[in-house]
Amino acid sequence: MPEGFGIVTDPWFWAVAVPAVLLTGLAKSGFASGLGSLATPMIALTLPVPQAAAVMLPLLMAMDATGLQQLWRVRDPALVRALVPSGLLGIALGTLCFGLLSMKAVSGLVGALTLAFLAQRLLFPPRAGGRLPAAWLGRACAVTSGFTSFIIHAGGPPLQAYLLPLRLEPRVLAGTMSVYFSCINLAKVLPYAALGLVDLGLLATSALLLPLAPLGVWAGVRLLDRVSSAWFYRIAYLCMAVSGCKLLWDGLR
């Protein structure tokens, strides 16, 4: 990535970035969370992937701050303690592999895993009183989440593959994911700086988009209180399906 990259002025970037940021904010609230993984691929239509990821990181952290303020008290502390260390391991793996894997490869992998999870849920739906997913599966999903989050900010689908079958109350699920991704995104800062992804021009671009960051989070939190648990999970699975198809398409085209 060249030094001194200025503020992005391409009008196509702004046409894509504004809805991408609003969509990500909505996903950050836990509502329509599967769609948050589409932001970096959307912005990457107008910027190289590393620059798209660098623009998004400060915005994600601003959304995390809003999410924590709204949802900290409804998190599941045990799940946070269990998942965050594995997510940080995924960040370390992402740092080591950054530049070795293309965005297409990572997008295709995340999309395929997401659709495979949804197919499994469709063909073998959970039964009342059935066994919950094993703890080792949660750690594996968190490692995958941390890795894909570092590369293209698409850590939501792998983590949801473990959390959604737990059938948590919607606000608890949203609070748990909010705290988890706050830790994960904060852990990206030093590796991104070491990889040369921190650039004043891109930071200025992020700053111009910053006022949009809390709007989607705020709207999503309001929707959490107005949608039943049944519809919350239907919407979550639908958003995962849309996200999985889009990411798989990005990987195959």
Digit-by-digit pLDDT tens for the chain (253 residues) are 344 456 777 888 898 889 888 888 887 776 666 666 777 777 877 877 778 888 899 999 998 898 888 889 999 999 999 999 999 999 999 999 877 777 677 778 778 877 887 787 676 665 555 567 788 999 999 999 999 889 888 888 888 888 888 888 888 998 999 999 999 999 999 999 988 888 888 888 899 999 888 888 888 778 877 877 777 777 777 877 887 788 788 878 7
pLDDT at 32: 64
The DSSP code for 210 is: G
Give the tens place of pLDDT for each residue, 78-134: 999 999 999 999 999 999 987 777 767 777 877 887 788 778 767 666 555 556 778
Token pair of 157 as six digits: 């689908």
Token pair of 158 as six digits: 């792998």
* Amino acid occupying residue 34: G
- CA–CA dist 111, 241 (Å, integer): 9
* Amino acid occupying residue 224: L
**Nearest residue to 41 via CA among 102, 91, 96, 98:** 102
pLDDT at 85: 97
pLDDT at 2: 40
pLDDT at 4: 45
Q: How far is CA 242 from CA 53, 147, 193, in A?
A: 21, 21, 32
SS3 98: strand
Q: How many CA atoms lie within 13 A of 65 on its CB side?
A: 9
